[in-house]
Amino acid sequence: MPSITFADVATAPSSRTLKAPKTPVPVVDAQNTSKRDIIIFSDFDGTIFMQDTGHILFDHHGCGAAQRHLLDEEIRTGARSFRAVSEDMWGSLNVPFEDGFNVMKEKLEIDPAFNEFHKFCLANGIPFNVISAGLKPILRKVLDLFLGEKQSSHIDIVANDAQISHDGSEWKPIWRHDSELGHDKAASIQEYKVIASSESEDGSIPLIVFVGDGVSDLPAAREADVLFARRGLRLEEYCIENDISYIPFDTFADIQKELVRLTEEDQQSTMGTGRPVQYNPRANFWRRASSKKAVPTLSSIQQSSGPATGNVFLPVEQTVAPQATLVS
């Protein structure tokens, strides 16, 4: 994969892991920080949650950990595509949808600071969106369980859908794209660009942030002004190997701290007008998509998926949760 250029982001990596904030959620003071809009896009498995939701299901209700590792190796070596291997993994499951979440509650760990971080985003009108190669019904259910349905509803999700039989004997991904990836995050971005092409009403230029952990996040991450990569995982390694600017994080508390610092830096340098200090021209279509005009929300591109066939299709949400109001 070719090297990707990002706007330089100066940061001094911390050697310690920050804990979840114990003080009330801070609201950015408009007098001390920029009024510039911030829009966040994030991976899910390994980023918001420390484990992979699919792996937990496969290990306990499907092919098992040993076989999963062998299948993962086929992806790593290129012997078979991600989509082909994933179909084998999902096809190995034999558990009703609701029952599968018993092990999720026991094994999944959410980033210790994510809940407070998302409250921070809501308090400051910062939209938070998920782009994932996983299955949307699972991701939504997990967020509902760990955050509560009200808070979860403020997060838009673009991911693959799923066809699951009532008795749980058949799990079949409904892929977003007819490709070896199943869900090509870069393609989703392009779809979003096409359907949401209006410009910002007041000419402001928002700051676009992406958060991830793996190389599969790069197609989306390269479109951001600021990239946060979970420390010690493959995305950070790739950034180091290819001289890509990024900010490492241990928990979302690190990200919250950096966002406050970045907005203060931007306010001092630009007064919140014109281009952000951290600016990547590739992110322009995200800015158009995040216009204050009536444009589709991120999750609306889910409608581009083909219709489901067979057994029971877990429904996509019938109403699109509104994004938090942008800071003005």
Tell me what pLDDT residue 189 has: 59
Does residue 239 surpass a pLDDT of 80? yes
**Residue 140 placed within a domain:** yes
Specify if 165 maps to a domain: yes
Given the residues 45, 161, 213, 225, the one annotated as active site: 45
Q: Is 91 inside a domain boundary?
A: no
Statement: residue 264 has pLDDT above 70:
yes
CA distance 79 to 58: 20
Q: What is the DSSP string of 142-179?
A: HHHHHH-HHHHTTEEEEEEEEEE-TTSS-EEEE-SSSS
Euclidean distance between CA atoms 158 and 176, whole angstroms? 9
What confidence score (pLDDT) does residue 310 get? 32
**45 catalytic per annotation:** yes
Kindly state the greatest CA–CA separation across the chain: 59
Q: What mean pLDDT is predicted for residues 150-169?
A: 93
Q: Is 225 a residue of the active site?
A: no
Catalytic residue among 8, 29, 43, 266: 43
- Residue range(s) defining the domain that contains residue 123: 38-50+111-304
73 within a domain of the structure (yes/no): no
| CATH number of the CATH domain containing 224 | 3.40.50.1000
| Whether the predicted pLDDT of 226 surpasses 80 | yes
Q: What is the dihedral of CA 237, 238, 242, 245, to 10 degrees?
A: -80
Tokens linked to 131: 């782009």
* pTM (2 d.p.): 0.75
Domain presence at residue 10: no
The answer to whether residue 253 sits within a structural domain is yes
Examine the pLDDT at 86 and tell me if it is beyond 80.
yes
pLDDT, position 287: 64
What's the pLDDT band for 177 if we cut at 50, 70, 90?
A: confident
pLDDT (0 to 100) of residue 284: 66
Burial class (CB in 10 A: 0-12, 13-18, 19+), 278: buried
Q: Report if residue 229 sits inside a domain.
A: yes
Q: In what order do the strands lie in the sheet with 38-42?
A: 171-174, 155-164, 128-135, 38-42, 207-212, 226-230, 247-249
Half-sphere exposure of 70 (CA within 13 A, CB side): 5
Contacts of 112 (CB under 8 A, 6+ apart): 19, 20, 251, 253
Let me know if residue 23 belongs to a domain: no
Highest mean pLDDT of the ranges 83-97, 180-194, 262-276: 83-97
Q: Across residues 206-233, what is the average pLDDT?
A: 86
Cα–Cα distance for residue pair 244/168, rounded to 1 Å: 43
The domain total for the chain is: 1
The residue-averaged pLDDT of 145-150 equals 95
**φ, ψ dihedrals at 210, nearest 5°:** -125, 140
Angstrom distance (rounded) from CA 112 to CA 9: 25
Instruction: Indicate the average pLDDT of the chain.
Output: 76
Question: pLDDT tens digits, residue range 309-326?
Answer: 333 333 333 333 333 222
